[in-house]
Structure 1
Amino acid sequence: MNEPIIKFDKVVKRFGDVTVLDSLDFEVKKGEKVTIIGPSGSGKSTVLRILMTLETINEGMIHVAGKPLWHQYKDDQLVPASEDHLREMRKEMGMVFQQFNLFPHMTVRRNVTEAPVHVLGLSKEKAGERADKYLDLVGLSDQADKFPSQLSGGQQQRVAIARALAMRPNIMLFDEPTSSLDPELVAEVLGVIQRLTEEHDLTMLLVTHEMQFAKQVSDRICFFDKGKIVEEGPPETLCTNPKEERTREFLKNFIHPE
């Protein structure tokens, strides 16, 4: 089998005295769709933030697309990564956050073209064509000249997805992409993500509380607790017949809501 496209090897992350990731071993294969579930504070979102280089690590190694993420080789020695190395590595990944983080003073189209022009060096024409393609994919071609404040939360999140895709990443990271949305807007964003999983050979790592959705789109679900993977497996196995008591206890909240 191919080398994993994401590989965490004994990764430790601490915030002060609190260990958020505890010697984490975790990998994702190219093209795999993996969902991370778990209680608040279990380290799920930290995994994504570390991959996007928004948080550093205390110990261990991470490889993305065969290269070390937080380290680099200098004269055959492994040394901490430079800002240039991190910038290159970020191009492998696109991230969609809970908050949409759109530029309020830019139109929808410009929100999508800005990074391809300034980071990838695309011409405005090429970036515009790419933006039109991805806005069409998320069903927002007719909103391209509006500003974010003129859109619903669901539409803003779909723009954020188009913006991440416009960088042509190999890996898409979704950090609870529907948690800031009103319930009636959740379905439209989940629908777009589902289309991506069906039509594109992207590797996806998704943190979500939407269990039904996780079951539909994932090749594998990992249950995190206290900075470790307690259990992982295909959705049908993990959700219907978990081996671990801690997993059963967690899933009860979704199957029999109070």
Structure 2
Amino acid sequence: VWSDIFVFQGAINKAMQLVVRQSASNELLACLSAYLNWEQSSSLDAGIMVSNLLLEMQSCPKVEFQLSEQYGEDLSEDAWQYIFAVDLLCSHLKWDWTHDNVISKVLWPSMDKWVKKRKGHETAQSIPDSVIALTLRLIGRLGQIGLKEGYLAAVKNISSVIGLFVQHAKEEGVPWGVQLAAIYSLCDLGSSNPEGIVEAIHAWRATVLNNIPFAVTSGIAEITSLCKMDALFY
């Protein structure tokens, strides 16, 4: 299994290889390089790999929606490969770098372009709905890095923006798969602002006519339990 992980060239495999190569001792790295025929000259810059993956994911035709019994309109396996790979590399690069170089410079601008295009800005770049769903899910995953490192206020700001997006999703005619991605992103960021996020999701839920997937109900229950824990401590 490990040899497969290190030899295959999928997004997550490349990310794992890079992190291992950066983290391994010289002796272990020499053994792995000899065994797996790794090129000594290949780039070990995690930031460059993240940038390349972000570019790839925005133009990859395999980033698409896929029906899931638990999640409703979920993302395809290829899309999740990008999410897991970028998440792994950004965990390695830490929150400050991730916030400044990924969320602020790439993910928010993509969201902005998509919203502008939907509102009729002809010059705005056209971005597929599935890529925006991926973007939202990725923001949720990356926000957890900030939570783990203690950047609660910064992550709360992010969840507040997504919360506003969700509240206006129905009236703006946002595609269902994108709405769900935003909700799941909020669930990932639940501990940044449990009460505010539960309120935003309940307000959204009251407006939608579609069947609510089990994963949403489960996510709401989890964040609600965080609210109860907060109430016990304060």
If the TM-score is normalised by the length of the shorter chain, which range does it land in? 0.3 to 0.5
Higher relative contact order (CA 8 A, sep 6+): 1
Higher strand share: 1
TM (norm. structure 2) is 0.33
Higher helix share: 2
TM (norm. structure 1) is 0.31
